[in-house]
């Protein structure tokens, strides 16, 4: 198992509070706004629940001038499950079967064909039966990758058997390296304990190989230090 990367501290920025002005007030200030330097931009947020619901906010001029058209609200709104972090909506997500273009079970040739990996070796040589690789979000250029990446364990027999998350990657439910034990337990109440941490079974009962999220914790009960997706038939490490 690779050493965990240094925990990235994230600070969420509060969205500005926007107060719409009456139409008469907007018209009265029109001449003054045209003489100002435009300092605003367009921020768009879209929420699709039981149909299309959109809210568009356009800022023009200073903070005292704002026009906020709001689309109609749906008659029935399904409850939205909160996520502990914003990771789950950024695309940096370790899903139930892979990450990015990588899927559990892919062969070494398929991994190489993505164009996003840096390999420790390009072929298996006895007695080595596994290779490590780094999969980057961006395509690899000149044999070197940049930016966010995850690590792969690739078995000669079973293909990709494990994907180790970096600190900026979360599960589909928002758990990531640095999540507390309490938050992880609340998110996965049926996770089982083992010698090296916890595991959350993802595959249906009876499916082989079994697939799990696995979590290791700092000093046993601290925050998550290692998050990875694993096949039960992995043969690359103890």
Query: What CATH number does residue 133 fall under?
Result: 2.60.460
Query: Residues of the chain with pLDDT > 70: what percent?
Result: 62
Residue 8, domain member (yes or no)? no
Give the C-alpha separation, 92 to 100, whole Å.
8
Poorest-pLDDT segment among 27-41, 98-112, 194-208: 27-41
Average pLDDT over residues 174-178: 95
Residue 1, domain member (yes or no)? no
Domain total in the chain: 2
pLDDT of 40? 39
Number of Cβ within a 10 Å radius of residue 222: 12
Phi-psi region of 217 (alpha: psi -120 to 50; beta: other; left: phi over 0): beta
pLDDT of 120? 86
The answer to whether 67 and 26 have CB atoms below 8 angstroms apart is: yes
Q: Are 139 and 51 found together in one domain? A: no
Q: Are 104 and 190 found together in one domain? A: yes
pLDDT of 130? 94
Domain endpoint, select from 80, 103, 134: 80
pLDDT of 229? 98
Residue ranges making up the domain that contains 208: 87-231
Q: Are 200 and 161 found together in one domain? A: yes
- 215 — pLDDT class (breaks 50, 70, 90): very high
Q: Are 68 and 97 found together in one domain? A: no
Give 72-125 pLDDT, tens digit per residue: 344 443 333 334 444 344 458 999 999 999 999 999 999 999 999 999 888 888
Residue 238, domain member (yes or no)? no
pLDDT of 71? 39
Number of Cβ within a 10 Å radius of residue 159: 19
Residue 209, domain member (yes or no)? yes
pLDDT of 98? 97
Domain endpoint, select from 42, 64, 80: 80
pLDDT of 140? 96
Domain endpoint, select from 49, 80, 111: 80
Q: Are 136 and 184 found together in one domain? A: yes
Which has the higher per-residue pLDDT, 42 or 75? 75
- 30 — pLDDT class (breaks 50, 70, 90): very low
Q: Are 75 and 96 found together in one domain? A: no
Residue 66, domain member (yes or no)? yes
Q: Are 73 and 164 found together in one domain? A: no
Q: Are 145 and 163 found together in one domain? A: yes
Asked whether residue 232 carries a pLDDT value surpassing 70, the answer given is yes
Which has the higher per-residue pLDDT, 4 or 140? 140
Which residue, chain included where needed, has tokens 């079973």? 158
Residue 6, domain member (yes or no)? no
């Amino acid at each position: 198992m690779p050493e965990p990367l240094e925990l990235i501290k994230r600070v969420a920025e509060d969205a500005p509070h926007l107060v719409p002005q009456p139409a008469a007030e907007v018209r009265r200030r029109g001449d003054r706004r045209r003489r100002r330097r435009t300092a605003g931009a367009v921020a768009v947020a879209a929420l699709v629940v039981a149909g299309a619901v959109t809210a568009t906010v356009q800022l023009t001029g200073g903070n005292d001038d704002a026009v906020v058209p709001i689309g109609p609200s749906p008659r029935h709104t399904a409850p939205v499950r909160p996520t502990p972090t914003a990771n789950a909506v950024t695309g940096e997500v370790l899903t139930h079967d892979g990450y990015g273009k990588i899927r559990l079970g892919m062969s070494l040739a398929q991994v190489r064909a993505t164009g996003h990996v840096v390999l420790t070796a390009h072929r298996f040589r006895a007695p080595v039966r596994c290779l490590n690789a780094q999969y980057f979000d961006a395509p690899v250029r000149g044999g070197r990758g940049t930016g966010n990446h995850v690590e792969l364990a690739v078995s000669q027999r079973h293909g990709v058997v494990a994907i180790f998350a970096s600190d900026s990657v979360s599960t589909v439910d928002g758990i990531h390296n640095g999540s507390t034990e309490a938050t992880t337990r609340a998110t996965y109440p049926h996770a089982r304990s083992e010698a090296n941490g916890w595991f959350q079974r993802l595959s249906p009962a009876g499916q082989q190989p079994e697939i799990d999220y696995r979590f290791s914790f700092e000093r046993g009960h601290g925050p998550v230090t290692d998050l990875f997706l694993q096949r039960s038939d992995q043969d690359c490490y103890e």
